[in-house]
């Protein structure tokens, strides 16, 4: 598999877009796709990623996210984990400007969450540097690098949010080899969730040893995938 291209600073910045549930997303000119579902960005984050992985019920969630993007999944996770320690490790190799992170979150009640406010401040000050934050009960580590080249933790995540752009335009994060590395990153009983139900993704997850289930998707998506690492 060829190495992914280095993001080109000449490509137009992503533009904010409304979605059907009233939340906002943005359109990426680089990939020709939206970051979140146009049928409802917050609904997708909640149903596919947070509830699909059981994170809303987990006593001490540890999330590994492929593609931090606009932080939609992060905010949806913050919304349901109050009072329980949350570790959030995300990878992003093409970080959006802090202004876009802020603008997309304006309609989201979670924009007022102290961890989100702190993240925005650091994102703005750091300008392209990784983000590490510790707020009461929330530990955030956002690594600005190509996730396919990163040294991922092993047996660590209670949930993997696999949220790259679609396999046709962003194939490196859906390859069988990389799916195997994501499976290694899951703790026993951990759950990988993704919005893609493509056959080759399902087969790649099965080949990585996970038990894969197709679930009904949110509006605009017939099926999504949930893949569990069996207990020993």
Ligand X SMILES: C[S@@+](CC[C@H](N)C(=O)[O-])C[C@H]1O[C@@H](n2cnc3c(N)ncnc32)[C@H](O)[C@@H]1O
Among 172, 183, 204, 208, binds ligand X (CB under 6 A): 172
Least CB distance to ligand X at residue 8 (A): 12
Looking at beta carbons only, is 158 or 230 nearer to ligand X? Answer: 158
Three-state secondary structure call for residue 183: helix
Q: Measured between alpha carbons, how far is 194 from 173 in angstroms, rounded to an integer? A: 11
| 70 binds ligand X, rule: CB under 6 A | yes
Q: Which residue has the tokens 């590395």?
A: 181
Return the bridge partners of 227, or none. 192, 212
| 88 binds ligand X, rule: CB under 6 A | no
Least CB distance to ligand X at residue 189 (A): 23
| 92 binds ligand X, rule: CB under 6 A | yes
Query: Which among 51-59, 85-93, 105-113, 114-122 is the span making contact with ligand X, rule CB under 6 A?
Result: 85-93
* DSSP letter string, 188-202: EEEEEEES---HHHH
Least CB distance to ligand X at residue 69 (A): 3
Among 4, 171, 180, 220, binds ligand X (CB under 6 A): 4
Q: Which ranges of the chain does DSSP label H, i.e. alpha helix? A: 41-44, 72-78, 98-104, 114-126, 176-185, 199-207
| 73 binds ligand X, rule: CB under 6 A | yes
Task: Specify the pairing of strand 157-162 against strand 186-194.
Answer: parallel
Q: Measured between alpha carbons, how far is 13 from 113 in angstroms, rounded to an integer? A: 26
Q: Which residue has the tokens 């401040």?
A: 121
Looking at beta carbons only, is 76 or 227 nearer to ligand X? Answer: 76
Q: Which residues in the 139-168 window bind ligand X by CB under 6 A?
A: 146-148, 163-165
Positions that interact with ligand X (CB under 6 A):
4, 35-36, 45, 67-73, 91-94, 146-148, 163-165, 170, 172-173
């Amino acid at each position: 598999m060829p190495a992914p291209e280095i993001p080109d600073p000449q490509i137009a910045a992503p533009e904010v877009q409304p979605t059907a549930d009233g939340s906002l997303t943005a359109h990426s000119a680089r990939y020709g796709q939206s970051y979140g579902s146009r049928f409802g960005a917050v609904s997708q984050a909640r149903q596919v990623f947070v509830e699909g992985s059981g994170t809303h019920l987990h006593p001490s969630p540890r999330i590994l996210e492929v593609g931090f993007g606009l932080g939609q999944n992060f905010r949806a996770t913050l919304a349901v984990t109050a009072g329980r320690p949350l570790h959030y490790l995300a990878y992003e190799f093409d970080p959006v400007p802090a202004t876009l992170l802020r603008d997309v979150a304006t309609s989201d009640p979670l924009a007022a969450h102290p961890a989100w406010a702190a993240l925005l401040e650091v994102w703005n000050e750091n300008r392209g540097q990784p983000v590490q934050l510790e707020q009461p009960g929330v530990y955030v580590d956002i690594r600005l690098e190509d996730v396919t080249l990163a040294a991922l933790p092993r047996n660590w995540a209670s949930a993997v949010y696999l949220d790259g752009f679609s396999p046709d335009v962003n194939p490196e994060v859906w390859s069988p080899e990389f799916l195997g590395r994501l499976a290694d990153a899951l703790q026993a009983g951990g759950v990988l969730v993704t919005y893609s139900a493509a056959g080759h993704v399902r087969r790649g997850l099965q080949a990585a040893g996970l038990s894969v289930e197709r679930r009904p998707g949110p509006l605009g998506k017939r099926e999504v995938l949930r893949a569990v690492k069996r207990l020993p």
